[in-house]
Chain A
Amino acid sequence: QKEVEQNSGPLSVPEGAIASLNCTYSDRGSQSFFWYRQYSGKSPELIMSIYSNGDKEDGRFTAQLNKASQYVSLLIRDSQPSDSATYLCAVTEPSGGSYIPTFGRGTSLIVHP
């Protein structure tokens, strides 16, 4: 069973702090890694993608990938109350000639003023 694991939280951080969200995956053949943000009652929206080891930065967001440790993380700098949401980690894995996404259960982030 291919698994993508996330701590369900909630992770509570003060406004202006760095929020660190973590995700581990079981399939060493995984190729692509995504972070989605989902506000309550809304659909997921893509915020970051990463395909190779190392860091990728986009504004206040940094995705970090370590394939040897099968670990991907998302850092949110200068956290704002508007960042309060559930963050879903998704991993694309090979399956019968296609690449199929598997989602973690999500981590709830609360940024308090």
Chain B
Amino acid sequence: NAGVTQTPKFQVLKTGQSMTLQCAQDMNHNSMYWYRQDPGMGLRLIYYSASEGTTDKGEVPNGYNVSRLNKREFSLRLESAAPSQTSVYFCASSERQATFSNQPQHFGDGTRLSIL
């Protein structure tokens, strides 16, 4: 099993360009999450999907949109990329819906995104 798969692994964009980061999990998990990780800042939650069909904002949602396409897939879109969005993006999933508190997370390998 692949677990959580993120594509692409690396990407360079110009300011103002748009792109979609893809995430898919094959563990039949209910909850999915998008984080960004910047040096010295830890992991910050961008958006999450507590269950199939729902999405909610996290700590830093501005400049991003998400789509929970089905139970397996959760994509993150940058409509007009800005240099401040240069970061490493991680997708994660949890087995149960986010209405349960004891939710260890499984992370993808990350997407390293640079915006010039």
Residues of chain A touching chain B, judged by Cβ–Cβ distance below 8 Å, are 8, 31-32, 34, 42-46, 49, 51, 88, 90, 92, 94, 96-106
Residues in B lying within 8 Å of A, measured CB to CB: 33, 35, 40-45, 48, 50, 56, 58-59, 90, 97-110
Q: How far is the CA of A31 from the CA of B58 in the complex (A)?
A: 18
Q: CB distance A8 to B99 under 8 Å?
A: no
Question: Which B residues are in CB contact (< 8 Å) with A44?
Answer: 43, 90, 105, 107
> A31 and B50 in contact (CB under 8 A), knowing A43-B107, A103-B42, A104-B42?
no
Report whether B107 and A101 are in contact in the complex, using a CB–CB cutoff of 8 Å.
no
Give every chain B residue within 8 A of A8 (Cβ-Cβ).
Answer: 40
**Distance to closest chain A CB from B37 (angstroms):** 9
What are the residues of chain B within 8 A of A34 when measuring CB–CB?
A: 104-105
Give the contacting residue for B43; candidates A46, A49, A92, A103; CB below 8 A.
Answer: A103
Interchain Cβ contacts within 8 Å, total number: 66
Report B21 CB to chain A, min CB distance, Å. Answer: 14
- Evaluate whether A96 and B103 lie within 8 angstroms (CB atoms) in the complex, with A8-B40, A44-B90, A88-B43 already known: no
Task: Give the residues in chain A near B110, CB-CB below 8 Å.
Answer: 43
B99 adjacent to A97 (CB under 8 Å): yes
11 new A-B contacts at CB < 8 Å, known A43-B107, A49-B104, A98-B98? A8-B40, A34-B105, A42-B109, A44-B105, A88-B43, A90-B105, A98-B48, A98-B97, A98-B99, A99-B99, A105-B40
Selected A-B contacts with CB under 8 Å, 9 pairs: A8-B40, A32-B102, A43-B107, A90-B105, A92-B103, A100-B48, A103-B35, A105-B40, A105-B41
